[in-house]
Amino acid sequence: MIKSFGMAFFISLLFLISAAPIHRAGECTYGSVHARFRMVDGDWENATAHPMLKRGESFEIKIIVRVKTNLRVVYLKLHEFGTPVYEVITGPSTMEQLLEHWGPTQSDQSWTYVWKMRVKADTSWVNGFSPLEVYVQFTKSDDDDSSITFDVMNTFIIDELWENYPQETINENFSSQTKDAPRLSSSSFLAIVIILFLAGVFLRGRRQR
C-alpha cells in the first residue's frame, strides 16, 4: 500500500513538472530576455529547466538580453530565495550582484552573459526544489522603466555530494594555511633554549646575592 502510494506520488510530481509552463523568453515594452541552462557536458536547453542536482554539482546558464529602443541603462541580477543554494564559479557577476550595462543603447542591440555555477556543497536546503531567478530592468529614464523576472531553473536538490566535486580545493586551502604559518628552524629553537637557560641562571644568581 505504501509502495503504491509512493509510486503514484512520484508519477504525479513528474506530471506537474512536465505540465509547468516553459518560459522560452521574457518580454516587456523595452526589451526581451532569453535564458538557457545546461549540465556539465550536456546540451543547452531553454528555461525554465527542472534538473536534479547534487550538492557541489556544477552547471552553466546563459542569459541573452535584447533591447527594442534607446535606453539609459540595463540592470541584471541573479536571485534566489531563502537559504543560499547556488554560487558562481566564473561569470560577469556573483549571486545577488547587480550587473549594469550603461547606454545609450540602440534598437535590437543584444548582449550574452554566461555563468558557470554550482550548488553549494554545504547548503542546508536539500530534498526540495530551489528556483534560480533572473531579474532584468530596462531603464529609459528615472521615472520610465520596464522589467522582466522569471526562473532560469527550478532545481530539485539531492542531499548527496557530487562525485566530481573538487575536494582538492578544500585540501589546498587547508594546506596553504598550514604552509603559511610561521615555523621555527631547529637552530632557532636551540638558540631560544640557550637564551632561556642563561636567563634562568642569571636570575638565580641575583636572587642568591
Between CA 64 and CA 34 the distance in angstroms is 5
Q: How many CB atoms lie within 10 A of CB 62?
A: 16
**Which CATH architecture best describes the domain 2-165?**
Sandwich (2.60)
Q: Give the 3-state secondary structure of residue 156.
A: strand
Q: In what order do the strands lie in the sheet with 52-55?
A: 52-55, 144-161, 128-141, 73-79, 99-102
Between CA 78 and CA 55 the distance in angstroms is 19
Provide the mean pLDDT of the chain. Answer: 80
pLDDT tens for each residue of the chain, 209 residues long: 444 444 444 434 433 443 343 334 689 999 999 999 999 889 999 999 999 999 999 999 999 999 999 999 999 999 999 999 999 999 999 999 999 999 888 888 999 999 999 999 999 999 999 999 999 999 999 999 999 999 999 999 999 999 999 854 444 333 333 333 333 444 455 556 567 767 776 666 666 65
Q: Using alpha carbons, select from 60, 51, 56, 85 the residue that is nearest to residue 165.
A: 56
pTM of structure: 0.68
Vertex 16 angle, CA 12 and 22, to 5°: 160
| Cβ contact 59:120 at 8 Å | no
pLDDT, tens digit, for every residue of 149-190? 999 999 999 999 999 998 544 443 333 333 333 334 444 555
| Cβ contact 133:151 at 8 Å | yes
